[in-house]
Structure 1
Amino acid sequence: MKILVVSRCLFLMLILCLLVLLPFSDEKGCYYALDLGGTNFRVMRVKLQGNRTIDLKTESYKVPPNIKVGKLHELFDYIAEKICHVIETETDSEIVPGKKRELGFTFSFPVQQTRINSGTLINWTKDYNVQDAIGKDMVKELTRALEKRAVDVNVTALLNDTVGALAGGRFYDSNVVAAVVLGTGTNAAYLEQSENILKPYGPPPESGQMVINTEWGNFNSPLLPLTEYDHALDSDSPNRHKQILEKMVSGRYLGEIVRRILERLADDAALFGDIIPPKLRQHYVLATYNVVEMHSDKSTELSVVEKCLEEVFEISDVSLEKKNVVVKICDIVATRSGRLGAAAIMAILKRLRKDTTKNGESVVVAVDGSLFETYKQLNSCLQKTLSEELVDEQVSKMLLLKHFKDASGIGAAVVAASHSIYT
């Protein structure tokens, strides 16, 4: 089966070794987290209670499209402004005299990282394209923007979103061995035994384990089931020939793949009549949440599909038969995403199997991200593919995919606590 071969090959991707002190779950104190993802970014104030519980305040913001492709200082000035807004809501009980605020920074893009509080951007993914940022230290840029506003914050830790999700998952459940993000983008991180790492990284950690950030979104192989729609989407993207698996799996691209298929059917089979609706040719006009809504439509006349076609493409008077075609396309695209996601998770499980099946312990994969959380059909396909096709019965009984909401941001806060300058 091709999906099994893809799973075997996935560990030929880029891997980054990270010496991260993961939480012990007894951390205490008030810490901040910045979680910069694809669609939104969140600023969080996390009160760690010391017993796997937290008191959480979160504010979510959208990065304006012009800032995503603007200048580096514009991006971080905007982010620093929002951090200030959250800090201004502090209560007296959250302020410790003589102690700087500490912040964990979750940055969902590939960086070259040699220290816990430093990392230079390798390249952008998703729809970011701030050109003067490549090669710059993201912690220094954030610190500079905060200092311009005289905000007393120390950026203690820089994490990829999957490393944050791994830390957040481990904070709640010590059986977590890997973390996956399925949202606007996709990636995974896992815990590897130090002796299995051939890449030089300095003295081995006392724990005997290191965090591996796989950057699996950048995986590419002739074995991937790329279609003409995938090739066209890649050619039109600002990061051509990069993030190929991500472009097949993640929420940034699923709506666009469906749109391209509908456009071809409109051209070749007059799916929506003899005149092609102009908006059907507009790139990324169909969002993945539109696909989720149409795929989930259970009404007899598929009224949700009808409404979406009208509002997004200005297409009306579509027959029930053709609306069913639209739902089927959504199902095909989501099924491929779920099955490829399962293959990628299986690659990590195969890598860890000798360590994770001992003593009959549960194998927990922490999952965060809006796609996994909201797209129930895709979620179901992913889990069904893992349990029924890819893992054997022994592992299937122990394997748990657990959704940890906001894990990447919470993980940044607890890692900041673990690496606190005051400990």
Structure 2
Amino acid sequence: MLPSFVRAIPNGQERGDFLAVDLGGTNFRVPHIRLQGMDAEMDGKIYAIPHAVMTGECDQLFDHIAACLADFMQRSGLSNTKKLPLGFTFSFPCSQDSLSEARLIRWTKGFNVSGVVGKDVAQLLREAINRRNASQWYKDVEVDVTAVLNDTVGTMLSCAFKESSCTVGAILGTGSNTCYLEDLEKCPKLKKYNFDKDAYPKQVSESFI
């Protein structure tokens, strides 16, 4: 059981523009989401991941993701605007110590990229974006990678946005996985994080890998 560090479901007060990267197979998506209370608008684009990238080196994969993210932002008129928060859906087994950090445990689904196992995938994405922006040719990806989560957690949260009673998410596809919202007091492995001393909801989403 792997905690996701998502502490609550949406409450209908979320507003603003957000980007996401959804990686979990031979294709990945880059959506742009605009939240206005209980209303949401979303557009996006699907990008392919060449087999050579799926089985190549770390920088190849994350530079490819950064390039596709830049392409989508340019197409959508989001380049050179205010920095947007980005959520990274990374659908592989990871251990987390915070919402914005996830270390890959192992690859699945045909991926075998070297140099990633044991690394923080959110930081690897940040570094790829920084490499692109440091180039004399590119400075077109202004984002803040604020969260990394599993696709089951993303599924649960997106459903809970419209139906607040939803506290379980499941994926049945190339792989199978489930998550649910649990009271923190029932998660002894999380006591070391002292969540009982903060003001956030006393729940956490648990992912089963």
User: How does the TM-score come out when normalised to structure 1?
Assistant: 0.45
Residues in 2 aligned to 1:96 and 1:85: alpha-carbon distance in whole angstroms? 13
After TM superposition, the structure 1 = structure 2 runs for residues 45-124 of structure 1, keeping only pairs within 5 Å, are: 45-51=32-38, 53-91=39-77, 99-124=82-107
Q: Corresponding residue for 2:167?
A: 177
Residues in 2 aligned to 1:49 and 1:180: alpha-carbon distance in whole angstroms? 26
Three-state SS of the structure 2 residue aligned to 1:132 is coil
Three-state SS of the structure 1 residue aligned to 2:188 is coil
Bigger fraction of residues in helix: 1
Q: Corresponding residue for 1:29?
A: 16
Asked if 1:204 is matched to 2:198, the reply is no
Q: Corresponding residue for 1:138?
A: 121
Q: Corresponding residue for 1:381?
A: none
Are the aligned partners of 1:35 and 1:106 in contact in 2 as well (CA < 8 Å)? yes
Three-state SS of the structure 2 residue aligned to 1:113 is strand
Residues in 1 aligned to 2:190 and 2:128: alpha-carbon distance in whole angstroms? 33
Q: Corresponding residue for 2:153?
A: 163
Three-state SS of the structure 1 residue aligned to 2:129 is helix
Deviation per residue, 1:158-206 (Å, 9 max, x gap): 0011111111111111010200011221111101112211213422364
Deviation per residue, 1:353-406 (Å, 9 max, x gap): xxxxxxxxxxxxxxxxxxxxxxxxxxxxxxxxxxxxxxxxxxxxxxxxxxxxxx
- Counting aligned pairs with the same residue, the percent is 38
State the one-letter code of the partner of 1:73. Answer: D
Deviation per residue, 1:265-305 (Å, 9 max, x gap): xxxxxxxxxxxxxxxxxxxxxxxxxxxxxxxxxxxxxxxxx
Asked if 1:187 is matched to 2:174, the reply is no
How far residue 95 of structure 1 moved from its aligned partner, in angstroms, is 7.9
Residues in 2 aligned to 1:75 and 1:39: alpha-carbon distance in whole angstroms? 12
How far residue 208 of structure 1 moved from its aligned partner, in angstroms, is 2.4
Change (3 A) 1:95 1:82: closer
Q: Corresponding residue for 1:17?
A: 3
Residues in 1 aligned to 2:63 and 2:16: alpha-carbon distance in whole angstroms? 27
Residues in 2 aligned to 1:207 and 1:117: alpha-carbon distance in whole angstroms? 18
State the one-letter code of the partner of 2:188. Answer: L
Residues in 2 aligned to 1:61 and 1:95: alpha-carbon distance in whole angstroms? 18
How far residue 96 of structure 1 moved from its aligned partner, in angstroms, is 9.5
Q: Corresponding residue for 2:112?
A: 129
Residues in 2 aligned to 1:164 and 1:185: alpha-carbon distance in whole angstroms? 15
Three-state SS of the structure 2 residue aligned to 1:164 is helix
Q: Corresponding residue for 2:131?
A: 148
Q: Corresponding residue for 1:393?
A: none
How far residue 70 of structure 1 moved from its aligned partner, in angstroms, is 0.5
Q: Which has the larger radius of gyration?
A: 1
After TM superposition, the structure 1 = structure 2 runs for residues 237-248 of structure 1, keeping only pairs within 5 Å, are: none
Three-state SS of the structure 1 residue aligned to 2:161 is helix
Residues in 2 aligned to 1:50 and 1:89: alpha-carbon distance in whole angstroms? 26
Residues in 2 aligned to 1:207 and 1:96: alpha-carbon distance in whole angstroms? 35
Residues in 2 aligned to 1:106 and 1:209: alpha-carbon distance in whole angstroms? 20
Are the aligned partners of 1:39 and 1:184 in contact in 2 as well (CA < 8 Å)? no
Are the aligned partners of 2:2 and 2:94 in contact in 1 as well (CA < 8 Å)? no
Number of residue pairs matched?
Answer: 197
Residues in 1 aligned to 2:86 and 2:132: alpha-carbon distance in whole angstroms? 16
How far residue 108 of structure 1 moved from its aligned partner, in angstroms, is 0.2
Are the aligned partners of 2:80 and 2:142 in contact in 1 as well (CA < 8 Å)? no
Residues in 2 aligned to 1:30 and 1:117: alpha-carbon distance in whole angstroms? 18
How far residue 148 of structure 1 moved from its aligned partner, in angstroms, is 1.7
Please list every run of 5 or more consecutive structure 1 residues that lacks an aligned counterpart in the other structure.
1-14, 216-423
Aligned-residue Cα RMSD (Å) equals 1.7
Are the aligned partners of 1:16 and 1:212 in contact in 2 as well (CA < 8 Å)? yes
How far residue 113 of structure 1 moved from its aligned partner, in angstroms, is 0.7
Residues in 1 aligned to 2:46 and 2:80: alpha-carbon distance in whole angstroms? 25
How far residue 82 of structure 1 moved from its aligned partner, in angstroms, is 0.5
State the one-letter code of the partner of 1:45. Answer: H
Are the aligned partners of 2:102 and 2:148 in contact in 1 as well (CA < 8 Å)? yes
